[in-house]
Amino acid sequence: MEKRLICHRLFIAFTVLSIVQSATAQSDFWEPCGHSIAGCIMSVVQNPSGDLFAAVKEQAVFRSTNGGASWFEFKTGLPNSYLTQMAITSAGHLFVGTYDQGVYWSTDNGETWSSINTGLTDLHIAAVLVDSSDRVYVSTCDGINRLRDNAMSWEKIYSTDEDTRVQCLAYGWNGKLVAGTKDDRLLQSSDKGEHWAVLSNRQHEQTISVVLAASGRLFAYKMIAAWGDGDGPVYGWLRSDDMGLTWHLVESILMLWPTPQNYLFGTRFFEIGGELLRSHDNGDTWTKLTVDSVDSLPPEVFYCFADSNGDILAFSTRPISNETRNGGVFRSSDHGDHWTQIHTSIRQAPVYNLIGTASGDLFASTDRGIFLSTDKGEKWHRVAFGRRSNYQYNAPSCYPVHLLSASAAGFLFAAIDNDGVYRSTDNGLNWLRLQHPLIDSCRFTAIANGPQGSVYLSGMNRSDSPILLRSTDNGESWMLRNSRLENVEVYALAVHPSNSIFAGTSKGAIYRSLDDGETWLPKATALSLHVVLNFSINKNGHIFASVWESGIWRSTDNGESWNQINNGLSSKEVRSIVFNSHSHLFAALNDGNIFRSVDDGDTWAFYASFAEIWEPERNSIALIVHPDGRLFIGFNGLEQFGVFRSKESTLTNIERLSNSAVPIQFKLLQNYPNPFNPTTHIKYALARAEKVRLEVYNALGQRMVLLVDKQQKAGEHEIFFRGDGLASGLYFYRLQAGDFFLQKKMLLLR
């Protein structure tokens, strides 16, 4: 229990559930979008070139080379352990402490990390510090350690035990080291840690953090009362003007950061709102800096840093509940009087919907407005925001934007619960709130665009009655189209190329209209009485419906008949269906897997896992395929949200048939490269057309992946195989074509 108190800024972690699938979770398959920083920030440092580095608790270091506007995540070599604190030398060498795996360092700007623990007798690192002479210090449960000059080993310079351990270190402009202990002693060294003197003995219960300000004042975060009115001890910041002899309580501040310009920045307790405050008189008086405006500093600031230019960076990034607004990074060049948001983190935004345009632009509707990416997800910026019930901003509010759609003419529509419908005609730069009584104060469930300015919208009105609306003029006017749907909630809408309209309901029924929504007739009523979540229509006009706990249903005759197509799926809880330009279908399942079908849904094979980046059972999932073939997936959950994309295109994993002459015999060639990580090529030759099965097995004879299962033409064929979800080891790939059977080995090395 005691070791869990090493750093007061450690927060509760969530458990990533393992995937129930023959392949393991594919951490190498996905990458986060947006070059965004996310996580509980423990430390921020800057190298001589001006690059910024932020260590987050969640086992990653982020780097920004443009002053905090964009961030890149690095994990290579870091252990599966929480990060505690980071420090940097004048040469740019980075050192980061971990909760229970010791110290790691990087000499290549954070891109790769390696452990440096020789000489440490305890690997629980509470604090990491670099002094002005580039000496590196760490505190552990059994003392203070210093890195030996020109040697990659540590020497203990002060010993403690579990009850007296050093919990924090600070270095002042006066060249002195200060250490705070669990038993509330403050220690000081004036000779680089060779000797330590006690500044103060027990006045309170324990010292958790200590800071030396430019003025020479000493600030300490301590337990100031054993128990308060709540359920635990009371902590607070105290100031000493005489290096620890006497202490004075500072105003209720949770976190405190000094600057070289002799300002103090601090935040109030989270229950008061996480407001940012500034003091210019060593904490005697404080000025509130936060303003509740979309262009000003957000109310929840979790870290501040003064860069080499004297600018103040405020970080509002942390994986907490959906209550946090305006996640990102803010900069002030005038000591906090004015702020500019320089980074908006889509990784902090719960995502409800993803759509793409014909030009390849991507839009994400979130609970913080609408984000746009024009470069395949590399960078995102918010194009729609504002304050709820204040229409002067003339844009969707920062409250949840659940529904988003795009028409063939390029019009965008955003539906916001209990607010209304907005339209943009300039790719999201400006938005107009559509005025009509039928769309005011509604809770919206589905939206779809048809030809010639038609828009269909379903939901519940202010009387909590189901409604289905149609507009024929791009949302200027609306008409009720509820015939035979008066008492049915519609959760999915789609417009067929034949102009038929389909509505999926909460009772597992699918309705069709052939007259622009004037009348509706049921076309599928035996779907196990479960909710129809969404539709997807391919270029052949085939309609696919995902029905909760009933799997996937398909119609090839404009909705006249429907068939269940779940062959090969690991679960019938299908959340989303999409297809790429080759009409390959991709289904996101509730068990954290994506399955692919290359035969119009007749059979399904495991394609990828998103279990490692997903919070099972507590998330909505938005899935689309970009025109370049890559998958994009967005989450909205209690802990996991943001947008991720696949590192490779779904179009590169397809079967290829060469133009060479027909082979005279069947062949299975050795995969190349071999060994491989994670992609390899498998080639085979068919002397005649045959039903082909190509499978991958592990060394125990368990089938891991079904690559091909269909009739194929004579000729040479090539399959790209990804082993992202497989462990290192020996595998076998087996080809069966009619009576021909052959097996070869391949080696996956991580």
Please say whether the beta carbons of 349 and 370 come within 8 A.
no
Please say whether the beta carbons of 418 and 443 come within 8 A.
yes
Q: Which pLDDT band holds residue 245 (cuts at 50, 70, 90)? A: confident
> Which residues, including other chains, have CB under 8 Å from residue 48's CB and lie 6 or more apart?
90, 92
What are the pLDDT digits (tens) for 582-602? 889 999 998 888 999 988 999
Q: Please give, one letter per residue, the 3-state secondary structure of 177-210.
A: EEEEECCCCEEEECCCCCCCEEEECCCCCCEEEE
Q: Which pLDDT band holds residue 313 (cuts at 50, 70, 90)? A: very high
pLDDT, mean of residues 605-609 = 83
What are the pLDDT digits (tens) for 445-456? 999 999 999 999
Dist. CA 461–CA 748, nearest whole Å: 56
Give the whole-number percent of the chain exceeding pLDDT 90.
Answer: 41
**Is pLDDT above 90 for 90?**
yes
Please say whether the beta carbons of 450 and 439 come within 8 A.
no
What are the pLDDT digits (tens) for 139-152? 999 999 999 977 78
Q: What backbone torsions phi and psi does residue 709 show, to the nearest 5 degrees? A: -155, 75
Please say whether the beta carbons of 663 and 716 come within 8 A.
yes
**Tell me, what DSSP letter sits at residue 581?**
T
Instruction: Give which of 125, 13, 120, 108 is closest to 63, Cα–Cα.
Output: 108
Q: What backbone torsions phi and psi does residue 388 show, to the nearest 5 degrees? A: -60, 140
Dist. CA 184–CA 209, nearest whole Å: 11
pLDDT, mean of residues 636-654 = 74
Q: Please give, one letter per residue, the 3-state secondary structure of 588-645.
A: EECCCEEEEECCCCCCCEEEEECHHHCCCCCCEEEEEECCCCCEEEEEECCCCEEEEE
**Is pLDDT above 90 for 471?**
yes
Please say whether the beta carbons of 57 and 16 come within 8 A.
no
Dist. CA 737–CA 420, nearest whole Å: 58
**Is pLDDT above 60 for 646?**
yes
CA angle 60, 65, 70 (to 5 degrees): 70
> Which residues, including other chains, have CB under 8 Å from residue 231's CB and lie 6 or more apart?
none
Give the whole-number percent of the chain exceeding pLDDT 70.
Answer: 85
Residue-level pLDDT at 269: 59
Residue-level pLDDT at 22: 28
Residue-level pLDDT at 2: 36
Looking at domain 16-32+565-652, its CATH architecture is Beta Barrel (2.40)
Q: Cβ atoms within 10 A of the Cβ of 737, count? A: 24
Q: Which pLDDT band holds residue 155 (cuts at 50, 70, 90)? A: very high
Task: Tell which wins on pLDDT, 405 or 31.
Answer: 405
Please say whether the beta carbons of 42 and 632 come within 8 A.
no
**Tell me, what DSSP letter sits at residue 490?**
E
What are the pLDDT digits (tens) for 365-385? 987 788 899 999 888 887 875
Give the CATH fold of the 656-748 domain.
Immunoglobulin-like (2.60.40)
**Is pLDDT above 50 for 294?**
no
pLDDT, mean of residues 241-257 = 82
**Is pLDDT above 70 for 661?**
no
Q: What does the domain layout of the chain look like in residue ranges?
A: 16-32+565-652, 264-344, 656-748
What are the pLDDT digits (tens) for 191-208? 999 999 887 765 556 778
Sheet bearing 729-737, strands edge to edge: 703-712, 690-698, 729-737, 740-748
Q: Cβ atoms within 10 A of the Cβ of 512, count? A: 20
Dist. CA 323–CA 687, nearest whole Å: 63
C-alpha to C-alpha distances, 228 to 225, 234, 239, nearest whole angstrom: 7, 6, 21
Question: Can you give the pTM of this predicted structure?
Answer: 0.69
Q: Which value, to the nearest 10 degrees, does the dihedral of the CA atoms of residues 699, 700, 701, 706 take?
A: -70
Dist. CA 424–CA 410, nearest whole Å: 9
Cβ-based burial of 490 (10 A; exposed 0-12, middle 13-18, buried ≥19): buried
Q: Which value, to the nearest 10 degrees, does the dihedral of the CA atoms of residues 254, 257, 258, 259 take?
A: -150
Instruction: Look at 28-32, 90-94, 682-686 and tell me which has the smallest mean pLDDT.
Output: 28-32
Dist. CA 238–CA 225, nearest whole Å: 13
Q: Cβ atoms within 10 A of the Cβ of 229, count? A: 6
Beta strands in 185-308 (DSSP E): 186-189, 197-200, 207-212, 218-225, 234-240, 248-249, 255-258, 264-267, 276-279, 287-288, 303-306
What are the pLDDT digits (tens) for 101-115? 999 999 999 999 999
Q: Cβ atoms within 10 A of the Cβ of 713, count? A: 12
3-state DSSP assignment of residue 269? coil
pLDDT, mean of residues 279-297 = 71
Q: What does the mean pLDDT of the chain come to?
A: 83
Retrieve residue 353's tokens. Answer: 């919907």
C-alpha to C-alpha distances, 727 to 75, 80, 110, 210, nearest whole angstrom: 19, 17, 26, 45
